[in-house]
């Protein structure tokens, strides 16, 4: 059995982090068996190296090794890619095709981004794992295959199972052995070594002197979060190698090639809150309904003033709070709302003589129409009348195209 150091040299794996060494050690231990392996870790940590190690050290090393990126294959064709199809089974199937499981018989299949598989494909994959059987798309004949499956994912499988996006039974069949690769930020001692290796490789590739980091730049490099892990580090080394004429890289130069420390890419968009609005129409409706509610509150307050002789202390406190905010009763004067006060006093004087002849309702029902289409019809009619029926002039006045105006006229039967 090869040593960890020999495997690192063979597959160009750099670093001495204990977690990395443990992951390689587990790969070496499981390689002689046919146990299914699930490689987990963030995007860009180098998960594709583990299945290569397992295949090269197994008894299947002379068989085929096929790597499949499950997230890059459209949902409608992934069953055909993995299991094959019969001629005429769907539009475009002009001939019979062998799938990866048929081609890799006796070898190893690496299913990268396995968490992106559709549920229907997961059922087919589970059958392969349990008894080595599969059926081509459009066929009824059961076929046998003898493949070793190594899968990888950067998806949180517990969350995916809870949300019903991944089958729990398939997860346990895939993860007989779970090999986790640590993110780059947890391998701080390896970061500068990796950067120097990449810088040397790109210097040789582009035939130029290698870049060298100053001490402050090295400290920043090691402390940086590296959300994109090794892939991000490699890209940064390549950019700097190609673009910088000065081969001694300062802290300021390095920082110009990296996102700010607080920016972690790829960004995660959280779940929308109930108060979020996806369209301008939602915002407009919200404003209109709030205005309508405020108008009703103001009318209720006016009625209270009328019924109680304009005495603030007798008015419903909740209405005062809505209309006047957090002011004390002593601070409220009717001069602040002269229109309301005048209306209340005028109506009160009119009814003083015959107060018993009137019964005040407890509430005033608001029947005002706030429908946008009615307001739109009124505006269109006014524009057409002012422009003597000339649609182009009316459209210009309304700020819309003549075609849109014509469509509105037909829509509202004007």
pLDDT tens profile 316-337: 556 555 555 555 555 555 444 4
Same domain, 295 and 328: yes
pLDDT confidence of 411, banded at 50, 70, 90? Answer: confident
Is 44 within a domain? yes
Q: Which of 180, 210, 242 is the last residue before a domain boundary?
A: 180
Do 12 and 153 belong to one domain? Answer: yes
Q: Is 79 a member of any domain?
A: yes
- Token code pair at residue 222: 């090691």
Contact at 8 Å (CB) between 109 and 66? Answer: yes
- pLDDT (tens digit per residue) in 177-223: 999 999 999 999 999 999 999 999 999 999 999 999 999 999 999 99
Residues 66 and 145 in one domain: yes
Cis peptide, bond prior to residue 266, ω within 30 of zero: yes
Residue 396 has pLDDT above 70, yes or no: yes
Average pLDDT of the residues in 339-361: 46
Q: Is the dihedral of CA 85, 91, 93, 94 positive or negative?
A: positive
pLDDT digits 0-9 by tens, 372-390? 667 778 888 888 888 888 8
Domain annotation covers residue 26 = yes
Q: What is the pLDDT of residue 323?
A: 54
What string of DSSP letters covers 208-231?
SPPPEE-HHHHHHHHHS--TTHHH
Query: Is residue 286 located within the same domain as residue 209?
Result: no
172/217 same-domain check: no
Kindly report whether the global pTM for this prediction surpasses the value 0.85. no
Q: Cα 2 vs. chain centroid, distance in angstroms?
A: 42
Tally the residues of the chain.
Answer: 414
User: In the structure encoding, which two tokens stand for residue 133, read together?
Assistant: 């059987």
DSSP assignment letter at 213: E
200 and 136, same structural domain? no
Phi, psi of 12 (to 5 degrees): 55, 50
Full residue range of the structural domain in which residue 382 is found: 372-412
CA separation for the pair 70, 110 (Å, rounded): 10
As a whole-number percent, the residues of the chain with pLDDT over 90 amount to 59
Instruction: Could you list the beta-strand ranges (E) of 70-107.
Output: none
Identify the CA nearest to 344 among candidates 308, 374, 397.
308
Count of structural domains within the chain: 4
Cα 257 to Cα 345: distance, rounded to the nearest angstrom: 71
Q: How far apart are CA 393 and CA 402, in angstroms?
A: 9
The answer to whether the CB of 48 falls within 8 A of the CB of 228 is no
Residue 293 shares a structural domain with residue 380 = no
* Domain co-membership, 172 together with 70: yes
Residues 20 and 158 in one domain: yes
Distance in angstroms (rounded) separating the CA atoms of residues 414 and 409:
5
Q: Are residues 45 and 175 in the same domain?
A: yes
What does the mean pLDDT of the chain come to? 82
């Amino acid at each position: 059995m090869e040593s960890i150091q020999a495997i690192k040299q063979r597959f160009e794996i750099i670093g001495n982090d204990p977690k990395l060494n443990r992951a390689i050690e587990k790969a070496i231990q499981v390689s002689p068996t046919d146990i299914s392996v699930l490689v987990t870790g963030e995007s860009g940590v180098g998960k594709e190296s583990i299945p290569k190690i397992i295949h090269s050290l197994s008894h299947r090393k002379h068989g085929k090794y096929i790597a499949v990126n499950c997230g890059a294959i459209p949902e409608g064709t992934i069953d055909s890619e993995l299991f094959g199809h019969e001629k005429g089974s769907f539009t475009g199937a002009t001939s019979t095709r062998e799938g990866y499981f048929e081609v890799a018989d006796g070898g190893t299949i690496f299913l990268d981004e396995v968490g992106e598989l559709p549920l229907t494909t997961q059922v087919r994959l589970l059958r392969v794992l349990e008894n080595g059987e599969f059926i081509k798309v459009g066929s009824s004949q059961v076929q046998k295959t003898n493949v070793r499956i190594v899968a990888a994912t950067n998806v949180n499988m517990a969350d995916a199972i809870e949300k019903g996006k991944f089958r729990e039974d398939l997860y346990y069949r895939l993860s007989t052995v779970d090999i986790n690769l640590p993110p780059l930020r947890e391998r701080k001692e390896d970061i500068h070594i990796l950067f120097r290796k990449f810088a040397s490789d790109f210097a040789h590739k582009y035939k130029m002197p290698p870049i060298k980091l100053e001490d402050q730049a090295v400290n920043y490099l090691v402390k940086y979060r590296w959300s994109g892990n090794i892939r991000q580090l490699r890209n940064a080394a390549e950019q700097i190698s190609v673009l910088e004429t000065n081969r001694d890289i300062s802290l300021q130069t390095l920082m110009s090639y990296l996102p700010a420390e607080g920016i972690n890419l790829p960004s995660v968009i959280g779940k929308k809150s109930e108060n979020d609005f996806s369209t301008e129409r939602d915002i407009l409706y919200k404003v209109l309904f709030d205005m309508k509610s405020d108008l009703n509150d103001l009318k209720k307050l006016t009625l209270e003033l009328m019924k109680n002789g304009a005495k603030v202390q007798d008015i419903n406190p909740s209405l005062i709070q809505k209309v006047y905010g957090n002011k004390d009763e002593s601070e409220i004067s009717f001069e602040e709302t002269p229109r309301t006060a005048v209306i209340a006093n005028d109506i009160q004087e009119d009814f003083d003589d015959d107060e018993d002849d009137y019964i005040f309702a407890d509430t005033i029902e608001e029947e005002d129409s706030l429908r946008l289409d009615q307001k739109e019809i009124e505006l269109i009619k006014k524009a057409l009348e002012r422009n003597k029926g000339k649609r182009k002039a009316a459209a210009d006045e309304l700020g819309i195209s003549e075609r849109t105006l014509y469509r509105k006229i037909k829509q509202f039967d004007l």
